[in-house]
A and B are shown apart, each in its own frame.
Chain A
Amino acid sequence: MVTRKSAVDKTSLHKPVVMTDLKGQTLVTLRTLTEDNPASLETYIKLGGYSALRRIVTEKTKATDIITEVKTSGLRGRGGAGFPTGLKWSFMPRYFDGVKYLVCNSDEGEPGTFKDRDIIRYNPHQLIEGMAIAAYTLGARVGYNYIHGEIWQDYEIFEAALHEAEAAGYLGENILGTNFNFDLYAVHGYGAYICGEETALIESIEGKKGQPRFKPPFPASYGVFGKPTNVNNTESYSSIPWILEHGGQAFADLGVPNSGGTKLFSVSGHVEKPGNYEVKMGTPFSELLELAGGIWKGRKLKAVIPGGPSTPVMPAEAIMAATMDYEGLSKARSSLGAGSMIVMDETTCMVKALHRLSYFFYEESCGQCTPCREGTGWVYRVIDRIVNGKGKMEDLDLLTDVSNNIAGRTICALGEAAATPVLSFIKHFRPEFEYYIQHGKSMVESQ
């Protein structure tokens, strides 16, 4: 019999390098960053960690009360879809003859998204506590945290944290001396963007190709190994302990109506200080940009993809006027997504940027359903032709048309995700595309 302890060396709980300036941030999910050894159990407990779990399991708080608290908090799914977490929890069948599962989606791989990684490596125990509370609430016996395969060192940190938590009685059997049992395991992806889609992720946990399932049935009724399963994003679970420590209303009050709490924004691209910034929902983009040190090299902002490539690109004026919350960005005709701000300065060639993005979706399409499998390749090839100077003016309408034919006709949302950049780039930067087609070279780079 192999024990869980043997596989991971605890020494891998190394001291991380804190990369962003904490000034101006409101730390909820990354609260341990103020300390020297943020990932350790000791640090987390010192900051009040595991107190919510302890209270709930010893007081035997009613599941419905917890769900109500989460609903009050206004927490919405932080993986990108923004579905209210409390509502999602209420979909899990209460009574089920068998094991129910809890899954954490830490498979962030949408370009520009790297927030969950910091939770895993800097504050793993808050995620563990959040999952344990969710498991208690939903009656899940087993949980899996599915971690992006590329961040292997962080996977090891998390697995070590699991052993630490189990040894301290926060996981496993008879948690904190009660009759609550919950086994939590780390599992990993190995290079497939699509596994960020929750049903593809479930397939992957089962040891299969990450091909999304057709829904319904939803994971709440047919998830891991065909059993009821709740899937949330890392940041969502990590918000739970804070909500139960301070109350749902306090969390809601951190943000703005319909967007409760704080949000981790991953800022990448042309800024001076790329990194994660945890700020209150509703923070103006301009403030966030300031935290990230502004546009690099003293250049001007050209455009931002606010929530990862599956959200529409926004020209500078639009984003500078927007606030960072679900409604703020939706009003500005884009979407918060996972809060992955890809910042592009004035030197960026939008044709080439789209070229790279279309290659990504072409490369990452799982190949299961026709519009995405065939359409992403078609789109990429046309843009590739344009970039190689062989574009035709009618290609722009063709691209729009093909993208519209992919969107909304696929099994999962990758269809929309692949269509969005094409449609939004052409919509906002059409003259750049036309210039490229006419001159066979980039407008920006020619200047």
Chain B
Amino acid sequence: MLNIEIDGKELEVEHGSTIIDAADKAGIAIPRFCYHPKLSVAANCRMCLVQVEKFNKPLPACATPVADGMRIFTRSKSAIEAQKSVMEFLLINHPLDCPICDQGGECDLQDIAVAYGTSGSRYTEEKRVVFNKNIGPLVSTDMTRCIQCTRCVRFLKEVGGMMELGMVGRGEHAEITAYVDKSVNSELSGNIIDLCPVGALTSKPYRYSARSWELTRRPSIAPHDGLGSHIEVHVKDNKVMRVLPREKESINECWLSDRDRFSYEGLNSPDRLKVPMIKHNGNWVETDWKTALEFAAGQIKDITNEHGAESLGVLVSPNSTMEEGYLAKKLADGLGCGNVDYRLRQTDFRLDGKRLGTPWMGCNIQEIEELDRILIIGSNLRNEHPLLAQRFRKAVANGAELSIISPLDNDPLMDIAHKVIVRPNDMVNVLGQVLKAMSGLQKLSLCLPPTLTQLLSDIKVRPNTQAIAESMAGHGETYDLISPKVGIFLGNMALSDPRFTEMYSMAEAIGGISGAKGGILPAAANSTGMHMLGVMPNSTGMHARAMLEVPRKAYLLVNIEPELDCQHAALAKAAMEKAECVVALTAFKSQALEHADVLLPIAPFTETSGTFMSMEGRVQSFTAVTRPLGECRPAWKVLRVLANTLGLRGFDYETSEQVKDAAFEGEKPSAVVWRSLNNNLKELVEIQINIKQEGLQRIGEVPQYESDPIVRRSTPLQKTKYNIKPMARMCSSQLAELGLSDGDLVSVKQDKGSAVLTVKLDEHVAKGCVRVAAAHEDTIGLGDLMGDITVEKLSPELLKGDAIVPEARA
């Protein structure tokens, strides 16, 4: 510890702190623009100049490390003169168009100018004008306002992982821009809006819609991925105007993914269902709640009475709250129906009943940064968990070695030490190789169960898997880590794979040998919570997949669009078509719900209270930030009244808190969580490693801006470059083998369904695979996300005069 003095205040600070760190901790305000604790130090704005004893020039507080005995003056004559002169320089070319600037009222330049500026200007020359740039649908630019602090440049390079903005030109002509006519495509791009200390970068969707002081700010939790990011929802006239991150160092730090930031536009979509509707003679008719609920309850009752409780299937979105999941489960229980599930995009349920607890990510989000060795299996990180990817990026920047086993070779924008890109089916074999290599390395093969040792005996370890194993074991090029901190994580592609059980078992065994932390990276906001509450079939019930394979007479859908949210779109669609009654609790009218019989308008996360449990097991409750739109009601209330109408007992909850208490059986949530989270298996599942599989396999990724009903309706997100029509993407050698070329039209078939798609060359796809995006109307005829698929070239004659050419989506 060092002893210093700032403005006469004696402080003890850590070695290596800068003056600004020390001052911030002591609550001494030093003005700044370019400095940001999460970014590299640029020291370019010079606003934080302070006087330091024994130095004849003022020093930038952000870049000057403290030394023992240092005496610092932030408000001395020399410091203030320096700060005022910098302020004057910053303002000479600033347009001072505050009245029409979106940043007005929350502008660092404006605020600091009040303290350090003068009322008039000595500058009488012409001011600089900089042309605006179009950098995409999310961020709006007014570059004349820019003060060249380069926070945005540094963020995209250091946090986003890709240098998409730069400062071109030099001197007074230097300006921030993307490359020629490119846009900023980072999935974290919205953060540059928050970082910009002036109004140069503002939110395009929010632009000119409100003044910051008109907004009411309410805390909430982001509902699109398992991170549980803290958000602040800004509301005006009962309408969500924008969403900003709420600082939470251990979760989202001060960042937010674009999905969480801009999805709110979906809340205001014209698709919103505002009143209950019943289908009458094939036509949708608006009705009142009472009628709708009685109709729904009557139908469910009639069908279950006639065909038994098992004729009902309950499908719950993993983005629904714990309260909603709990009540859905309880309602099914009340009816004696065991068919409940939230695992809509899973196909392999062999581990059911074999787990010791609720699977989770196996460590804290923050811990990722400290890992030395990381293995990621079957995940397109940036697509699935955009902000979590950033934590991995930090780990790699800190020196961690990242290994990837995946059917997709997408750039995670961080250095990859080792990777094996293979067909999903072969991933199991690759994992077997890693396991075998590891057991060999550590001479611990005896510790593996004999069955596993036997399974591995035929496996030949290849150099690249050997390299991964050595990395996991801590072996290094120049020096070895004796006890590396290892993390092993399975992503969405693994979770959706028909051989998930094998992948999971292998990963668990590798983890056991390497002492790894880790687990699964579940996709949705409340996947882990749903599992913990047991929103899953009972021992005799059917899981999500079975409920569709063997269609039910009736379905109760909570917050889903079946063809878009389920693993097997075609099965989902057929099952809904066939069902006698589909009761859908939904916030949106939807083409995907055309086979429903009753639509019950529920409140999205902004209009209801509830609780999510994140992938790291954090239970976070939130309250409604606006009143429900129209006649929408919180889904927990709808489920409660539906249960009441069904005549079920024990549904007397008045508040969502009561539901939550019931879900946790009155215990402290953390106690329940502590007891429940466990990635271990009770017993080894029978697995096969080497299965030969000849045909093509589909990689049915869910694009991040198609992941749930709200996101799918956010116009700005839909306008980003990520919103591309599903295509049949293959690598060049695969195309050559099939005699196809980029731009050809093909018919892709899975099971009985098919889709006509354009062929796209994509070298990121493993040989033997076709990457066809899911959760899109063009591919709802297809089957499993990860499964067999065939591709057939369509002859031009066949296409002539036919309307099957897919239209390009603007």
Q: Is the CB of A370 within 8 A of B46?
A: yes
B630 smallest CB distance to A (angstroms)? 52
Q: Measured between alpha carbons, how far is A376 from B167 in the docked complex, in Å?
A: 19
Which one of A365, A370, A382 lies within 8 Å of B171 (CB-CB)? A365
Q: Is the beta-carbon distance between B125 and A370 smaller than 8 angstroms?
A: no
Total count of chain A residues near the partner, CB < 8 A: 30
A411 and B90 within 8 A (CB): no
* Residue among A363, A366, A371 making CB contact with B89, cutoff 8 Å: A371
Interface check A369, CB cutoff 8 A: yes
Contact A381 B89 (CB under 8 A): no
CB <8 Å contact, B57 and A405? no
The answer to whether B63 touches A214 (Cβ under 8 A) is yes
Q: Is the CB of B93 within 8 A of A374?
A: yes
A residues near B147, Cβ cutoff 8 Å: 370
Residues of A within 8 A of B41 (CB): 214
| Contact A367 to B125, CB < 8 A, known contacts A374-B89, A411-B43 | no
By the criterion CB–CB under 8 Å, are A374 and B92 in contact? yes
- Is B174 a contact partner of A367 (Cβ separation < 8 A)? yes
Contact of B172 among A194, A365, A369, A405 (CB under 8 A): A365
Cβ of B17 under 8 Å from chain A: no
Kindly state whether residue B721 has any CB partner on chain A within 8 Å: no
| A411 close to B170 (CB less than 8 A) | no
Task: Give which listed residue, A373, A405, A409, contacts B148 with CB less than 8 A.
Answer: A373
Q: Which of B42, B58, B170 has the most CB of A within 10 A?
A: B170
A360–B86 Cα distance when bound, in Å, is: 22
Within 8 Å CB of A368, what residues of B?
42, 44, 148, 174
Whether A214 and B43, one on each chain, are in contact in the complex, defined by CB atoms closer than 8 angstroms, is yes
Which chain B residue has the least Cβ–Cβ distance from A392?
A: B124
Cβ–Cβ < 8 Å partners of A381 in chain B: 125-126
Q: Is the interface of B mostly helix, strand, loop or mixed?
A: loop
Measured CB to CB, the nearest residue on chain A to B93 is: A374
Q: Encode contact with B along A349-383: 1 for CB under 8 Å, 0 otherwise.
A: 00000000000001111111111011111100110
Report the separation of the CA atoms of residues A363 and B46 in the bound assembly, to the nearest whole angstrom.
21
Q: Which residue of B lies closest to A385 (CB)?
A: B125
- Chain B residue contacts of A398, Cβ below 8 A: 122
Q: Report yes or no: B172 in contact with A376, Cβ–Cβ below 8 A.
A: yes
Residues of A with C-beta under 8 A to B144: none
* Cα(A377)–Cα(B93), bound, Å: 10
* Nearest-neighbor residue (CB-CB) of B168 within chain A: A209
- Does A373 lie within 8 Å of B82, measured CB to CB? no
Interface: A408 (CB within 8 A): yes
Q: Mark B163-183, 1 if CB is under 8 A from A, else 0.
A: 000010111111000000000
Q: Mark A156-181, 1 if CB is under 8 A from B, else 0.
A: 00000000000000000000000000
Secondary structure at the A interface, as helix, strand, loop or mixed, is helix
Q: Are A378 and B63 in contact (CB under 8 A)?
A: no
How far is B60's CA from A159's CA once the two chains are assembled, in angstroms?
A: 41
Q: Is the CB of A408 within 8 A of B57?
A: yes
A440 CB to closest chain B CB, in angstroms? 18
Q: Which residues of A contact B169 (CB under 8 A)?
A: 367
Tell me which residues across on chain B come within 8 A of A409, comparing CB atoms: 46, 49, 57-58, 82, 85-86
Closest residue on chain B to residue A394 by CB atoms: B122
| Contact partner, A374, options B47, B60, B82, B172, Cβ 8 Å | B172
Query: Could you say which residues of chain B place their CB within 8 Å of the CB of A377?
Result: 93, 128, 171-172
A304 in contact (CB, < 8 A):
no
A410 to B89 CA separation, bound complex (whole angstroms): 12
Are B170 and A371 in touch, CB under 8 angstroms? no
Interface size classification for chain B: 35 or more
Q: Are B170 and A375 in contact (CB under 8 A)?
A: no
Known pairs A214-B41, A374-B93; A367 contacts B85 (CB<8 A): no
Q: How far is the CA of A163 from the CA of B24 in the complex (A)?
A: 55
B90 adjacent to A369 (CB under 8 Å): no
- Report the minimal beta-carbon distance from B253 to chain A, rounded to whole angstroms: 25
Judged by a CB distance under 8 angstroms, whether A192 is at the interface is yes
Q: B123 in the interface, Cβ–Cβ < 8 Å? A: yes
- Complex Cα spacing A192 to B170, Å: 9
Interface members, chain B 36-81 (any A CB < 8 Å): 41-47, 49, 56-58, 60, 63, 65
Within 8 A of B (CB), among A225-279: none
Of the candidates B58, B126, B128, the one whose C-beta lies within 8 Å of that of A408 is B58
Q: Which residues of B contact A214 (CB under 8 A)?
A: 41-43, 60, 63
User: In the bound complex, do residue A367 and residue B82 qualify as a contact, i.e. CB atoms below 8 Å apart?
Assistant: no
* Assembly CA distance A366 to B45 (angstroms): 13
A286, chain B: closest CB distance, angstroms: 34
B88 at the interface (CB under 8 A from A): yes
Q: For residues 137 through 181 of chain B, which have their beta carbon under 8 Å from a beta carbon of chain A?
A: 147-148, 167, 169-174
Select from chain B the residue with minimum beta-carbon distance to A365. Answer: B171
Closest to A410 in B: B46
For B45, give its contact among A363, A370, A378, A408 (CB under 8 Å). A370
Question: Which residues of A have CB within 8 Å of B171?
Answer: 362-367, 373, 376-377
Alpha-carbon distance A378/B91, docked complex (angstroms): 12
A214 to B167, alpha carbons, bound, how many Å? Answer: 18
Alpha-carbon distance A374/B90, docked complex (angstroms): 7
Residue of A nearest to B174 (CB): A367
A369 to B42, CA, bound (A): 9
Chain A residues near B123 (CB-CB < 8 A): 378
- Which chain B residues lie closer than 8 Å to A369 at the CB level? 43-46
| Residues of chain B within 8 A of A365, CB atoms compared | 170-172
Contact of A370 among B57, B86, B122 (CB under 8 A): B86
Residue in chain A with minimal CB distance to B58: A409
Given contacts A367-B169, A411-B43, contact A373 B60 (CB under 8 A): no
Cβ distance A390 to chain B, nearest Cβ, rounded Å: 10
Contact at A367–B86, with CB atoms within 8 Å?
no
Give Cα A405 to B63, complex, Å.
Answer: 20
Proximity string of chain A (281-306) to chain B, C-beta cutoff 8 Å, 1 when within and 0 when not: 00000000000000000000000000
Q: Complex Cα distance A374/B174, Å?
A: 11
Q: Which residue of B lies closest to A408 (CB)?
A: B57
CB contact under 8 A between A367 and B172, given known A381-B125, A385-B125, A405-B89: yes
For A105-139 the 0/1 string (1 means CB < 8 A from B) is: 00000000000000000000000000000000000
Apart from A367-B169, A369-B43, A385-B125: 11 A-B pairs, beta carbons within 8 A: A209-B170, A216-B65, A369-B44, A370-B89, A370-B90, A370-B148, A373-B171, A374-B172, A376-B172, A408-B57, A409-B58
Question: Please, could you name 27 A-B residue pairs with CB atoms under 8 Å apart, sorted by A?
Answer: A194-B170, A209-B167, A214-B60, A214-B63, A362-B171, A364-B170, A364-B171, A367-B169, A367-B173, A367-B174, A368-B42, A368-B44, A368-B148, A369-B44, A370-B46, A370-B148, A371-B89, A373-B148, A374-B89, A374-B172, A377-B128, A377-B172, A405-B89, A408-B57, A409-B86, A410-B46, A411-B43
Closest 10 CB pairs of A and B: A367-B174, A405-B85, A374-B89, A381-B125, A365-B171, A408-B57, A377-B172, A214-B43, A367-B171, A369-B44
